[in-house]
Chains A and B, each alone.
Chain A
Amino acid sequence: MWEQVRSNRLRSVVLVVLMGALLLALGYFLGLIFFDSAVGGVVIALIIWGMMNLVAFFQGDSILLGISGARKIKPSDNPRLYNIVEEMKIASGLEKMPDIYIIDDPALNAFATGRSPNRASVAITSGLLQKLNRDELQGVIGHEIAHIKNRDVLLMVMVSVLLGSIVILAWYASRFMFFAGAGRRSSVRGGGQLGIIIILVGVVLMILAPIAAQLIYYAVSRKREYLADASSALYTRYPEGLASALEKLATSGTSVRGANKATAPMYIVNPFRKKGISLQSLTSTHPPVAERVRILRAMGGASLTDYEQAYRQAKGGVGVIPATALALDGAKPMALRAPSAEAKPVEDFPQRIERARETSGLVWRLNNYETIPCDCGTTLRIPPNFPLPTIKCPHCGKINYIVYRSQSLAPNG
């Protein structure tokens, strides 16, 4: 199952190469259009990409942590959080303990960053820290550690740098074309048809490349989310923890301050709250939370194979877990563990429901309603002026005779 990382790497390389090719093609045609030199365009594209890469590589995580206003904590500042991160570090077999940051923000979210597993950070909002119990927090941290362990952070940084370069290049080219366009364009050599074709390809690329790159980026990002969910369940052996944490995250309505489009895939759920999120599932960095919860809840065990099965049941078609990871995984069933003491409900729920029922039954009786227990377990309540001698149970369909057992308790009855 730890092989996952390796097969991920291959896929990642393919995707990065694909986006790189897109960037180069864009540079090539724009160069032809504007400078009569394909090489010039490619060089400009490479320079933009190189500069953005340098910034992202050396400053990426500090920029991300900086703009989200995160502060680093020591073990003694929040022993519980520190312990949970360490637990997940051990469960995942990560070699170095990641740095832990807290973002003072009532929004509920968390993210992981860092270019390699040896230089990684986990950040969590103070709102989330307050709302979650130990098991839920463990699930969330497990998800973030999985991003680090699977090297998702590095991949997403590389992909987003490429995306950024493509967007910047296309944006400037379109401005350039708009303002200084007409005169320059006619200078494409070879004239006639070839020139027109080059311009056409260039324009089409200029419009489509950013969109295509964005779609690749979103697809990669969503897949990574599923993988991280699967890994979190594997580490904690308790998918319910992450599932109920995700539910809490989904019901909170606030956006994270300081989050922007480039940093969005690093968060555990989409940091932007928009209405009608299911409509934009193709252009979302995160899969819908309801679906993630449903998959986690459908898991029969904690292994990647179990997640794969649950995923196929929920979505059909091909799964998300790489086949090489599954091949090593299936040998031993992995049992789920019980919830921790902290997560158990404080009061006995059945008792409380029973008490609530008694109270509401009393209120009904005070209002002269008759109560008839049906054989299927449903309780039928008959209003005082009910005209018929029998009543059909809405649940099982059985005809029940109304026996007026008790006289009303109401004072005027």
Chain B
Amino acid sequence: MLAVWVIVGIVVVLIIIFAAIFNGLVRLRNQVKNAWAQIDVQLKRRHDLIPNLIETVKGYMKHERETLEAVTKARNLAMKAVSAGAGERGKVEGELSSALARLLAVVERYPNLKANENFLALQEELTSTENKISFSRQYYNDSVLNYNNQTQMFPSNIVAAMTGFRGGEFFEIKVAEEREVPKVSFG
């Protein structure tokens, strides 16, 4: 009789441990999903800010048509890739990042523009959105790291394998190498 109770006790304890690990895994997976949604929000916000930026800047930067067009083009490509996978999306968003960085670097040559309050507000928004993108990416990757560790480490890996938790994919935005800005000399 005692043996039966001991076995029942062990089984109950095992079930409790199993449930605790399972719930932990669910929590981590939801955290990953949530973090991904955050990245999405920030990328969309950047897409929304760009037309405004171009509109404000256009009047001042008559000689930077190429730079402006590059930004618009990169944005359109990024908009199309919204439903694409993490890898493809990371690539086009990276191109948009570097196009924007070039535009903001060129701004230094236009003191009038830097005195424009509308532009300054937009610049703050853009800088912050860039930061938010990288912070949400950072949080997402940290969450994925946690989740992956949990699915690979003993004993949670057993539960993960039994219930089909497979870990997540890291998200990298590939920023193209900063191109050298051609020097203009007035010899």
Q: Which residues of chain A have a CB within 8 Å of any CB of chain B? A: 1-2, 79-80, 83-84, 86-88, 90-93, 235, 237, 328, 331-332, 340-341
Residues of B within 8 A of A88 (CB): 135
Q: 8 pairs across A/B with beta carbons < 8 Å?
A: A2-B142, A83-B128, A86-B128, A87-B131, A88-B135, A90-B136, A91-B135, A93-B143
Give the residues from 104 to 148 in chain B that come closer than 8 angstroms, CB to CB, to chain A. 121, 124-125, 127-128, 131-132, 135-136, 138-139, 142-143, 145-146
Q: Are B138 and A83 in contact (CB under 8 A)?
A: no
Q: A93-B34, A328-B146 are in contact. List 8 more A-B contacts (CB 8 A).
A: A79-B124, A79-B128, A83-B125, A87-B128, A90-B135, A90-B136, A93-B35, A328-B149
Query: Which of B31, B125, B127, B132 touches A93 (beta carbons < 8 Å)?
Result: B31
**Chain A: which residue is nearest B41 at the CB level?**
A90
- Give min CB distance, B117 to chain A, whole Å: 12
**CB neighbors of A among B25-47 (8 A):** 31, 34-35, 38, 42
CB of B19 to closest CB in A, whole Å: 17
Q: B-side interface residues toward A, CB under 8 Å?
A: 31, 34-35, 38, 42, 121, 124-125, 127-128, 131-132, 135-136, 138-139, 142-143, 145-146, 149
* Cross-chain contact A93 with B139 (CB below 8 angstroms): yes
Taking CB atoms, residues of chain A closer than 8 Å to B121 are 79
Kindly list chain B residues whose C-beta atoms are within 8 Å of the C-beta of A340.
Answer: 127, 131
In Å, the complex CA distance between A340 and B34 comes to 27
Query: Does A87 lie within 8 Å of B146, measured CB to CB?
Result: no
Across the interface, do B128 and A331 meet the contact criterion of CB distance under 8 Å? no
The residue of chain B having its C-beta at the shortest distance from the C-beta of A234 within the complex is B142
Determine how close the nearest CB of chain A comes to the CB of B136; give it in whole angstroms: 5
Q: How many A-B Cβ pairs are below 8 Å? A: 51
Nearest A residue to B170 via CB reads A332
**Residues of chain B contacted by A331 (CB below 8 angstroms):** 145, 149
Smallest Cβ-Cβ distance to A86: which chain B residue: B132
A120 to chain B, nearest CB (A): 18
Smallest beta-carbon distance B144→chain A, Å: 10
Q: How far is the CB of B23 from chain A (nearest CB, A)?
A: 13
A91 to B35, CA, bound (A): 10
Choose one: B31, B128, B135; the contact of A235 (CB below 8 Å): B135
Q: How far is the CA of A351 from the CA of B127 in the complex (A)?
A: 29
Top 5 nearest A-B pairs by Cβ distance?
A83-B128, A91-B135, A90-B135, A87-B131, A90-B136
Contact of B124 among A83, A91, A93 (CB under 8 A): A83
Choose among A2, A79, A88, A90 the residue with the greatest number of B CB atoms under 10 Å from its CB.
A90
Shortest CB distance B51–A (Å): 19
A237: nearest chain-B partner, CB-CB? B138
Q: How far is the CA of A80 from the CA of B146 in the complex (A)?
A: 31
A residues in contact with B34, CB < 8 Å: 93
**Quick one: which of B125, B127, B146 contacts A1, CB cutoff 8 A?**
B146
Which of B31, B132, B145 is in CB contact (< 8 Å) with A87?
Answer: B132
Q: Which residues of B contact A93 (CB under 8 A)?
A: 31, 34-35, 139, 143
Task: List chain A residues, Cβ under 8 A from B145.
Answer: 331-332
Query: Do A92 and B149 form a contact, CB below 8 Å, given A79-B124, A86-B132, A87-B132?
Result: no
> Closest approach, in angstroms, between the C-beta of B1 and any C-beta of chain A?
37
Query: Given the complex of chains A and B, what is the CA–CA distance between A88 and B149 in angstroms?
Result: 24
B105's closest neighbor in chain A, by CB? A341
User: What's the least CB distance linking A213 to chain B, in Å?
Assistant: 35
Tell me, in angstroms, the Cα distance from A93 to B144 when the chains sit together: 13
Bound-state CA distance A93–B145 (Å) is 14
In the complex, which residues of chain B have a beta carbon less than 8 angstroms from the beta carbon of A79?
121, 124-125, 128
A92 and B138 alpha carbons, distance in the complex (Å): 9
Chain B residues whose CB sits within 8 angstroms of the CB of A235 once the complex forms: 135
A80 with B124: CB separation less than 8 A: yes
